[in-house]
Amino acid sequence: MSLYQLFTSKGPSGFGYGSTAEDVTAGLDLSGKTILITGCNSGIGQESMRVLALRGARVVGTARTLDKAKAACEGVQGQTVPVACELADPKSVRAAVATVKAVGAKLDALICNAGIMALPKREQAFGVELQFFTNHIGHFLLVTGLLEQLTATARVVILSSAAHHQAPKEGILFDDLAAEKGYGAWKHYGQSKLANLLFAKELARRFAGTQRTANAVHPGVIHTNLARHMNPVATALFAMVGPLALKSVPQGAATECWAAVHPGAAAISGAYLADSNVKKPRADAEDLALAKRLWEVSEQIAARLPVS
């Protein structure tokens, strides 16, 4: 496929690599809908919040601090509600859950967008490797805490990545979630993104028989603040080739917006989405037994985290 074909081709949904968040939501009236998105202050999360609010949704935008969430929400036209949610701090996640419940907001979509990538050195939170904790466990606490707040047709959208292919070949390293036996920046980012896929898979299984859906998304490769932990040479290269070879931020935000609100995605659940279409992830990302085990282990981790 030539670069031109890549940028212009469309899949069965009618959208493709080059579609933007505005394209995939064009003509939709989201008034009356409430959508929560994590990581609303940067990158594709910020663009998704802007476009969903533009189409009339009330967007609950979360960021690590209330100040960051407020600043991001103030920069957007439309109805937004800023909420603090530091995913690596269970107390903050539980407070965010309590705030959403107190507001009484029923969620039509919940987009688990926030994430960190390729930390150069191993870091941990509560004895768990930090990318796994932030990208998966933090969102696991948030989503499971908000299940009762979901509408009957709610969609949960979980940002994964094509980098899930870089997860260990054994899948999730359940016997070393602290990464004490060895650490690799990309291997552990990949593991957290495989966990995002498996979480969506198990959630979709639990939603079976209802109109609720859960899907995982690869947004494309986009030059955002996500690259902040990459070495300076790689970051400079990324910045240079970005405008030519990577997706723009509006293109990167498309798939999560499509999954969250487009009528064409209403019946899709348990899938891996990229370029606003269903794609095939690596084989173990579809392993239902692995997905179930991850859920159980995540519950065990959640049970030993501080509550207040």
Place of tokens 């949610």: 85
Total interface residues for ligand NAP by CB under 6 A: 29
Measured from the Cβ of residue 95, the count of other Cβ atoms closer than 10 Å reads 16
141 binds ligand NAP (CB under 6 A): no
> Scanning the structure block, which residue is given the tokens 């891996």?
272
- Would you say the C-alpha torsion 39, 45, 46, 48 has a positive or negative sign? negative
Q: Which is nearer to ligand NAP, 221 or 273 (CB)?
A: 221
66/292 with CB nearer ligand NAP: 66
Q: Is 224 in the site for ligand NAP (CB under 6 A)?
A: yes
Where is 35: in which H helix or E strand?
strand 34-38
**Among the residue ranges 20-28, 112-120, 168-176, 270-278, the one whose residues contact ligand NAP (CB under 6 A):** 112-120
CB nearer to ligand NAP: give 3 or 208.
3
Closest approach of ligand NAP to the CB of residue 225, in Å: 4
Residue that has been written with the tokens 């890549």 in this structure: 6
Please, are residues 217 and 11 in contact by the beta-carbon 8 Å criterion? no
Stretch that binds ligand NAP, among 5-13, 15-23, 83-91, 177-185 (CB under 6 A): 83-91
Q: Which stretch binds ligand NAP (CB under 6 A): 41-49, 102-110, 173-181, 229-237?
A: 41-49
Q: Which DSSP state fits 108?
A: E
Contact partners, residue 109, CB within 8 Å, separation at least 6: 33, 35, 36, 154, 155, 156, 157, 260, 261
Q: Is 215 in the site for ligand NAP (CB under 6 A)?
A: no
- The reply to whether 48 sits near ligand NAP by the rule CB under 6 A is no
Whose Cβ is closer to ligand NAP: residue 184's or residue 292's?
Answer: 184
Rule CB under 6 A: is residue 87 a binding residue for ligand NAP? yes
Residue 50 near ligand NAP by CB under 6 A: no
Residues in the chain: 308
- CA 59, CA 202: separation in Å to the nearest integer? 26
Is 260 a binding residue for ligand NAP by CB under 6 A? The answer is no
If the CB atoms of residues 144 and 208 are measured against ligand NAP, the closer one turns out to be 144
Query: For the chain, what is the radius of gyration of the CA atoms?
Result: 18
Active-site residue, from 4, 17, 183, 272 = 183
Report the alpha-carbon distance of residue 4 to residue 40 in Å, rounded.
31
What distances in angstroms separate CA 141 from CA 32, 38, 109, 302, one per listed residue? 26, 13, 16, 7
The DSSP bridge partners found for residue 112 are 158
Site for ligand NAP in 167-196 (CB under 6 A): none
Contact 139, 113 (CB under 8 A): no
- Please indicate whether residue 183 is annotated as part of the active site: yes
Residue 44 near ligand NAP by CB under 6 A: yes
* Least distance between ligand NAP and beta carbon 42 (Å): 4
- Site for ligand NAP contains 43 (CB under 6 A): yes
Span 266-305, contacts to ligand NAP by CB under 6 A: none
Q: Is 219 in the site for ligand NAP (CB under 6 A)?
A: yes
- Cα separation, 5 vs 105, whole angstroms: 42
Q: Which residues bind ligand NAP (CB under 6 A)?
A: 38-39, 41-45, 63-64, 68, 85-88, 113-117, 134, 159, 161, 218-219, 221-222, 224-226
Catalytic residues: 183
